[in-house]
Amino acid sequence: MSASTARIRAVIRKELTEFRRNRLIVTTSAVLPVVFLISPTVSILDIKTQALSTVLDKRVETSLFLPLLVPVFVPAIMAAYSVVGERDQGTLEPVLTTPVGRAELVIGKAAAIFMPAVALGYLIFGVFFAITQLAANPAVAAAVRNAPQLPAALVFIPLLAAWGVWVGLAISTRVTDVRAAQQMSILGSLPPLALSALMSFQLLTPTFWLAAALAGGLLVIDGAACLVVARLFDRERLVTGSRPTRSIPAPVTARAGARAPEDIRSPVVSSQAQQKGD
Amino acid sequence: MSTAGGGSRAAIEVSHLTKVFGARTAVSDVSFSVASGEVFGFLGPNGAGKTTTVRILGALISPTAGSAAVAGIPVGPDGAAEIRQRIAVMPESPGLYQRLTVTENLEYFASLYGLPRRQARIAEALAAVGLADRAQDLTRSLSKGLRQRAALARALLNDPAVMFLDEPTSGLDPVAAHEVHGLIAGLRDRGVTVFLTTHRLDEAERLCDRVAIMSTSLRTMGRPDELRQSLFARSLDVTVAAALADPGRVFGGLTGVRGWKASDPPGSGPAGYVLTVSDPAQAAPAVTRALVAAEADVLSIAPSRHTLEDVYLELIDDTEGSKR
């Protein structure tokens, strides 16, 4: 069955409405960005004009790295809840009995998390950039404006957000406990972040080509992750929590005493006959 | 396609269905068919395999062995999407999104079914379950009974040919359960085939054309009255004002009476006897005459009445006994 955009839109709309009305998600999505915005902004505004260029550079690196945590952690936490949370509430099974395809559900759920996460990521960088340009002393403002990490961050925000979404969704389809899913997805979102950190802190020389290669690699991984998560989204596993058993091809050889469908329509199946048959 | 029940086209056809989870067999070699428009009760204790059977027929999980067809479509990966389009499943838990209104819940499912005229269908479904005035309420603000109604409205959206209701009155108070019974009766009137999984035997007896009793494998199947007749010997319940001095002399040798036993221990008050008979209607006059001749004060003579619960307990006790 080909994916229906109408169904995907319906999933996105439902997910966004639920997020908007979920106080916990709204609070988490608001508090984390505020923390990761205030800390680097204060750090930048605190730099004195006469600060050494190495101090200035270090502060700018840290300040531009911290906001990158938001587009990774926020979608990872939300995605981790997305499937296991529905299963917890008993809402998943009715959805799985409809004709919605697994790809439609997965894409819809992923998009509903990805879009606000990326918007939030850009918003944080936008606000940070605006404040530093308006309020920091001119030398510091220029250092932020010319930092190579700034354009890199703009590219990495959607890629890291996508990684967080897929890791969270993949874990959410396999784990049966919401809290375990969220903790595991935070751990799962760390590897690309570690690479970004190495570059931001110049432990890995952040050349254009290295950044481009990393971005390309993440893009490929994100694309493949979509397919992997869609495969993990197995109805039987989601409903029963156990791995699907391999089917024995029908028709099955009737054992001695087992009744054909026509026979079984007689009012009472003798329990003796059944016991023999079983 | 073979027929079932009343002889019309089968809505559900199950043949030697088996489902194994690891080392545990949930459903073993089950075969039955359900006629189109029939209300079919599926009974059994906890862990009997009822929900697993519903999930297989709802194309949610695949059988380990055997085959099934729903609405004429074979259950399997190829027909799964089409089956889901033509059926509705109402699980035991209503499974409504608590932060969405009743209408938003229904809109979501109408979109997943890809239905045209969504608003009209939602309005019809809500009217059918008497929930039109609560359409804009968040589902978390509804009582359990109203949530069941909303779930039933959701199940009506796609105008299903077959509806699977898994314990629809579980946890409901008698009033709410009665309302749901009314809704199920309404489904029968609409010609929907209803596959009703339930613990409540009174519910099955009242609503179902036929019932099947499961305990991993199928124990029995038929109309409730057929099951009663075929499982229990026909008998007469006799109550007299005082215990008979020699019941063996009174009942022995009567035409159509095969045997008798006292239903209560001897005492000073009224006494009861259960007579095994070939035909209660024919035996009753002879029994009455014999009692009058013995100068017994007859309080009542009536055919024994067995409920579906008796049938169920007889079969399930038998199953449990054989397991032990």
Look up residue A63 and give its two tokens: 């300040």
Answer yes or no: do B95 and A92 touch at CB < 8 A: yes
Answer yes or no: do B65 and A275 touch at CB < 8 A: no
Q: Are B19 and A251 in contact (CB under 8 A)?
A: no
Taking only the tens place, the pLDDT of each residue in A233-263 is 888 888 887 766 655 544 433 333 333 333 3
Choose the closest CB to B60 out of A11, A97, A255: A97
Tell me the ipTM for this assembly: 0.79
Look up residue B104 and give its two tokens: 């938003």
Which residues 65-94 of A have a C-beta within 8 angstroms of B?
89-94
Q: Are A81 and A169 in contact (CB under 8 A)?
A: no
**Res. B97: pLDDT tops 90:** yes
Taking only the tens place, the pLDDT of each residue in A11-53 is 999 999 998 998 877 887 788 888 888 888 888 887 776 666 7
Q: Are B188 and B37 in contact (CB under 8 A)?
A: yes
A with B: how many residue pairs have Cβ under 8 Å apart? 175
Confidence of residue B319 (pLDDT cuts 50, 70, 90): low
Name residue, tokens 């519910």. Answer: B203
Q: Per the domain annotation, does A270 fall within a domain?
A: no
Choose the closest CB to A259 out of B31, B97, B322: B31
Answer yes or no: do A268 and B109 touch at CB < 8 A: no
Which of A259, A49, A222 minimizes the C-alpha distance to B28? A259
Mean pLDDT (whole number) for B65-80: 93
Answer yes or no: do A97 and B89 touch at CB < 8 A: yes
Provide the whole-model pTM: 0.78
pLDDT for the residue numbered B89: 93
Report the Cα–Cα distance between both ends of chain A, in Å, rounded. Answer: 39
Q: Are B107 and A11 in contact (CB under 8 A)?
A: no
Calculate how close chain B gets to A3, using CA atoms only, in Å.
11
Look up residue B251 and give its two tokens: 């009942």
Mutate to test the interface with B, among A97, A262, A272, A276 (most CBs of B within 10 A): A97
pLDDT for the residue numbered B8: 52
Answer yes or no: do A258 and B16 touch at CB < 8 A: yes
**Res. A274: pLDDT tops 50:** no
- Side-chain half-sphere exposure of A153, counting CA atoms within 13 A: 29
Choose the closest CB to A91 out of B22, B59, B95: B95
Confidence of residue B240 (pLDDT cuts 50, 70, 90): very high
pLDDT for the residue numbered B317: 65
Q: Which of A182-196, A254-268, B243-257, B268-282 has the lowest mean pLDDT?
A: A254-268
Which amino acid appears at position B219 of this protein?
A: R
CB atoms within 10 A of CB B298: 14
Nearest-angstrom CA–CA distance, B8 and B186? 20
Q: Closest-CA residue in chain A for B14?
A: A261
Choose the closest CB to A250 out of B65, B93, B229: B65
Q: Per the domain annotation, does A258 fall within a domain?
A: no
| HEC sequence for chain A | CCCCHHHHHHHHHHHHHHHHHCHHHHHHHHHHHHHHHHHHHHHHHCCCCCCCHHHHHHHHHHHHHHHHHHHHHHHHHHHHHHHHHHHHHCCHHHHHCCCCCHHHHHHHHHHHHHHHHHHHHHHHHHHHHHHHHHHCCHHHHHHHHCCCHHHHHHHHHHHHHHHHHHHHHHHHHHCCCHHHHHHHHHHHCHHHHHHHHHHHCCCCCCCHHHHHHHHHHHHHHHHHHHHHHHHHCCHHHHHHCCCCCCCCCCCCCCCCCCCCHHHHCCCECCHHHHHHHC
Buried/exposed code over A210-231 (b: 16+ C-beta within 10 A; e: otherwise): ebeebbeebeebbeebbeebbe
Average pLDDT of chain B, as a whole number:
86
Q: Closest-CA residue in chain B for A268?
A: B220
Mean pLDDT (whole number) for B237-246: 89
Calculate how close chain A gets to B127, using CA atoms only, in Å.
21
Mutate to test the interface with A, among B15, B106, B108 (most CBs of A within 10 A): B108
pLDDT for the residue numbered A148: 78
Residues of B within 8 A of A272 (CB-CB) are none
Residues of B within 8 A of A248 (CB-CB) are 18, 64-65
Mutate to test the interface with B, among A274, A275, A276 (most CBs of B within 10 A): A274
Choose the closest CB to B112 out of A1, A99, A275: A99
Look at chain A and report how many structural domains it folds into.
1
Q: Closest-CA residue in chain A for B95?
A: A91
A27 touches chain B (CB under 8 A): no
Nearest-angstrom CA–CA distance, A16 and A14? 6
Q: Closest-CA residue in chain B for A96?
A: B60
Choose the closest CB to B100 out of A18, A235, A278: A18
Choose the closest CB to B217 out of A10, A266, A274: A274
Residues of A within 8 A of B71 (CB-CB) are none
Q: Which of A94-98, A146-150, B114-118, B180-184 has the lowest mean pLDDT?
A: A146-150
Average pLDDT of chain A, as a whole number:
79
Which domain, by its residues, includes A129? Answer: 5-240
Taking only the tens place, the pLDDT of each residue in A56-91 is 777 787 788 878 888 888 899 899 999 999 999 999
**Res. B191: pLDDT tops 70:** yes
Mutate to test the interface with A, among B54, B61, B87, B141 (most CBs of A within 10 A): B61
Calculate how close chain B gets to A173, using CA atoms only, in Å.
15
Is CATH 3.40.50.720 the classification given to domain B233-303? Answer: no
Q: Per the domain annotation, does A124 fall within a domain?
A: yes
Check residue A90 and give left, alpha or beta (phi > 0: left; psi -120 to 50: alpha).
left
Q: Per the domain annotation, does A162 fall within a domain?
A: yes
pLDDT for the residue numbered A258: 37
The CATH number for B3-229, chosen from 3.40.50.1820, 3.30.70.1450, 3.40.50.12780, 3.40.50.300, is 3.40.50.300
**Res. A267: pLDDT tops 60:** no
Q: Per the domain annotation, does A262 fall within a domain?
A: no
Mean pLDDT (whole number) for A123-135: 90
Nearest-angstrom CA–CA distance, B200 and A167? 44
- Side-chain half-sphere exposure of A63, counting CA atoms within 13 A: 30
Which of A73, A66, A71, A77 minimizes the C-alpha distance to A37? A66
Mean pLDDT (whole number) for B269-279: 86
Calculate how close chain B gets to A31, using CA atoms only, in Å.
22
